[in-house]
């Protein structure tokens, strides 16, 4: 938890008030984010972590302040990118999985895709869908039953794949980060 009164936080605040320190931190963050607004956010996110004695407090006897901040910013950025990557992957895989399921069903169950498309357009009742497709209502109910069976299997497969992805993400989160050439140049 943020503690501005902690000795490590007081030392960090003192260093932060020195001339040009914020500017240097911004330049370091900018090498990762490539956006001034995102760089400002990254510096602030890292500062919150440094001012938390239980997270990444600065030990003035171990590293200079700017070097410690560079490390915390890199770690913070990497965590944010991993989270964003996992979110994109889940969304992308969800769309691909749905397309794969529909494509596999389409040959034997030609009403499945049109029913999904009508549902996406807001036409959700079986009677409305049957009318729009020119088929008996029972055919729509049968297609729903088929979709439900395959959806359960797709969900089970997705959950298994998701557990595997999360284990891999956790393993990569513990891997040490390396300093980029741009960061070495900025802090030199």
Instruction: Kindly state whether residues 167 and 126 are assigned to the same domain.
Output: yes
Instruction: Kindly state whether residues 70 and 135 are assigned to the same domain.
Output: no
Counting the structural domains of the chain, the total is: 2
pLDDT for position 182? 58
From the CB of residue 144, how many other CB atoms can be counted at a distance below 10 Å? 16
Instruction: Kindly state whether residues 14 and 56 are assigned to the same domain.
Output: yes
pLDDT for position 34? 81
Is there a contact between 64 and 70 (Cβ–Cβ < 8 Å)? no
The pTM of the full predicted model, rounded to 2 decimals, is 0.47
What are 123-145's pLDDT values in tens digits? 878 888 899 999 999 998 888 88
Name the average pLDDT for the chain: 80
Instruction: Kindly state whether residues 95 and 108 are assigned to the same domain.
Output: yes
**Exposure string for 153-175, b = 16+ CB within 10 A, e = fewer:** ebeeeeeeeeeeeeeeeeeeeee
Cα separation values, 46 from 2, 116, 132, 173, Å: 12, 45, 56, 17
CA dist., res. 160 & res. 152, Å (int): 12
Cα separation values, 111 from 65, 108, 135, 137, 170, Å: 64, 9, 9, 11, 41
Instruction: Kindly state whether residues 63 and 94 are assigned to the same domain.
Output: no
Q: Is residue 19 part of a domain?
A: yes
Pull the structure tokens for residue 56: 């990444």
Expressed as residue numbers, the domain containing 156 is 87-172
């Amino acid at each position: 938890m943020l503690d501005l009164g902690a000795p490590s936080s007081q030392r960090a605040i003192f260093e932060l008030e020195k001339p040009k320190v914020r500017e240097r931190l911004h330049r370091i963050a900018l090498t990762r984010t490539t956006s001034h607004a995102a760089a400002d956010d990254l510096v602030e996110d890292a500062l919150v972590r440094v001012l938390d004695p239980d997270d990444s407090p600065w030990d003035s006897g171990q590293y200079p302040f700017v070097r410690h901040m560079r490390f915390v910013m890199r770690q913070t950025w990497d965590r944010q990118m991993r989270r964003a990557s996992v979110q994109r992957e889940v969304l992308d895989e969800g769309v691909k999985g749905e397309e794969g399921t529909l494509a596999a069903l389409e040959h034997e169950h030609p009403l499945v895709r049109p029913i999904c498309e009508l549902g996406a357009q807001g036409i959700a009742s079986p009677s409305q869908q049957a009318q729009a497709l020119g088929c008996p209502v029972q055919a729509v109910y049968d297609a729903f039953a088929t979709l439900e069976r395959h959806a359960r299997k797709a969900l089970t497969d997705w959950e298994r794949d998701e557990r595997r992805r999360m284990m891999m993400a956790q393993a990569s989160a513990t891997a040490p980060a390396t300093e980029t050439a741009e960061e070495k140049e900025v802090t030199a």
